[in-house]
Each structure stands twice: as C-alpha cells, then as structure tokens.
Amino acid sequence: MNGKYCGFYTLGPLNGCDCIAEGEGNFLYMNGYSRTAMTPSDLPPWFVRVEIGGRDGFVPAAGAVSILYRPSFSDPLSLFRYDILYVSYHTVMSEEAGSVTGADLVIHGAWIIPFVHAVRKYSPDCDTAEAGELLRKKARWLSDQLL
C-alpha cells in the first residue's frame, strides 16, 4: 500500500462536533481528526466506504491479513444490521469463547459485503473463503425467512 495514505478517513471530524464549516463538507479527515485537502475522489480504489463513529468514512481493503465474519441469525428484518466483520492488518486473528483477539477494525451491517469484495480484489493473500460462505449462508437464511 502506498505510504502517503493513513489508516482511515472520515467525512467530518470525529470530535463530537456535528457541524462542518461551510466549504469543508467534502474534505477528508485523516484518522477522523486532522482535516486534509483530499476529497473522496482522491483516494485509491482500495479504500472502501464504511461508517466510522457515525460518520461516512473510508478504510483500506488492501493490506488486510485476515477477516472474521460473524453473522446474526436473530432477526430477519434487521438484514445485516447486527452482523460483524473483524479485520486485521497485522496478524491472523483468533477467537476464543466468542471473543476475537487481534482485530484492528470492526465493520457492522451493510458495509460488510462491499468490504469483503474489495478484500478479495486488493488483498489476494487474505483468506475470504469462510466469510464468503457465511455471507452466502446468511443470504439463503434471509431468503428462507422473508420469502
């Protein structure tokens, strides 16, 4: 991954301020705090749109070492809302007694599917087979529950 990009970017600061000064609405905030001169169109294609701290943000799919997808099968009307994707950029994660260790990033909900697709494309060494199978299982379960 190119060294000029940081861990993640948000559209607006994560400092609790919901107001964005006029003219700053499209600029990215590095790691959610430092305003940059970049806009979303300046990011390379391996940055994927997700929600970070209640704001639209962008995280890299390139460089992912491992992902763990944990779907929720509790409420079909919630679709993917309560699903969780754990992402590590440094180590293979482990899970013990329902607790995941080694995660650098946690993605919830509908943002999971495009992120997994981007990881397949931009992190070819990252094993996405289990996540892909669980996503297909979730889709079948939703189809059975809702149709």
- Whether the pLDDT of residue 22 is over 60: the answer is no
Boundaries of domain holding 115? 66-146
56 and 71, same domain (yes or no): no
The enclosing H or E element of 130 equals helix 129-146
pLDDT of 15 reads: 67
Which band of pLDDT confidence, cut at 50, 70 and 90, is reported for residue 11?
A: confident
pLDDT value at residue 114? 95
* 87 within a domain of the structure (yes/no): yes
* CA quadruple 12, 111, 108, 61: dihedral, nearest 10: -80
- Looking at the 3D structure of the chain, how many domains does it have? 2
Residue 110 counted as domain residue: yes
Q: List, for residues 35-71, the tens digit of each pLDDT value.
A: 888 899 999 999 999 988 778 899 999 999 999 999 9
Tell whether 44 and 78 lie within a shared domain. no
Q: In this structure, is residue 2 part of a structural domain?
A: no
